[in-house]
A and B are shown apart, each in its own frame.
Chain A
């Protein structure tokens, strides 16, 4: 197998991993919107009136963008959506850490508590790199549809 082909498969595998992380975390949040809205409020970044609106919408963006990315539909656009969301989440964790908050991050689902911290920041940055690869290399292997048309 050519070196370029192997790299293409590696990039596609990273895309599938990022997509799965988003789908699963989104579904977990949808299953418990109340806990996710508590998690958002704990960051103390949003006016209280907007907390639930974000809690209702964010998980669905995660699931839809994740599912389309998994199937290889509009890879560039969905990667950009995921990259943007991860950027916001990472900044939120960063500011929470600066404020000295020691809260549950509400990042990848709500069923298992995850503390915010430097490890969480590194994990998010790794996912951002994965999403960035999707923006940079939208023509990929392992797609449901022919990505050259999308």
Chain B
């Protein structure tokens, strides 16, 4: 005879898993916040970002017009925070890839960055949070000149600005 599914057993397994998950997260060093918050961000009003002496570690964003000006400057590094597959498909010309998904402050190779240079971090568009999170992480590591370009690759491509593809590493 075919055994019936016991809903009480399923609820018990789920309840046990929830309790273990909450317990582990509360006491583990790998624990995360129970409620994830969206990063708060201000749009930078100053057009002269190069000359800006900003030591605050608050998250700031730049607009498309500011990004265009900065793109031609040698002292500015564009960082693509998306996954390696998206980066290989299309990215802002000259940008480097530091996927936020797998970013580990002590492991990720940051040798291509410099604390003296302006770092512009972007992802897909303003609804993606990877650029904000990576910028926060860079600010915490002392990269005080890191900013978010909110429009991301979508706005950049729509404006028909230079993009390039690359080999998947």
Contact = CB atoms under 8 A, between A and B. Distances in A.
A55 B21 CA distance: 9
A49 B129 CA distance: 13
Nearest to B37: A48
Residue among B3, B16, B34 with the highest chain A CB neighbour number at 10 A: B3
A68 B21 contact: no
Interface in B118-133: 127-130, 133
A56 B16 CA distance: 13
A103 B153 CA distance: 15
A51 B22 contact: no
Contact of A113 (B10, B13, B18, B84): B84
B17 to A, nearest CB: 4
A22 to B, nearest CB: 12
Interface stretch (A72-80, A86-94, A122-130): A72-80
Nearest to A51: B36
Interface residues of A, number: 42
Contacts, number: 113
Interface residues of B, number: 40
Interface string A23-56: 0000000111111011101101000110111011
A60 B21 CA distance: 6
Interface string A110-128: 1001010000000000000
Interface in B61-119: 82-86, 89, 99-102
Interface of B: 3, 5-6, 9-10, 13-14, 16-18, 20-22, 24-25, 28, 30-38, 82-86, 89, 99-102, 127-130, 133
Interface of A: 30-35, 37-39, 41-42, 44, 48-49, 51-53, 55-57, 59-61, 63-65, 68, 74, 76-78, 80-81, 102-104, 110, 113, 115, 135, 138-139
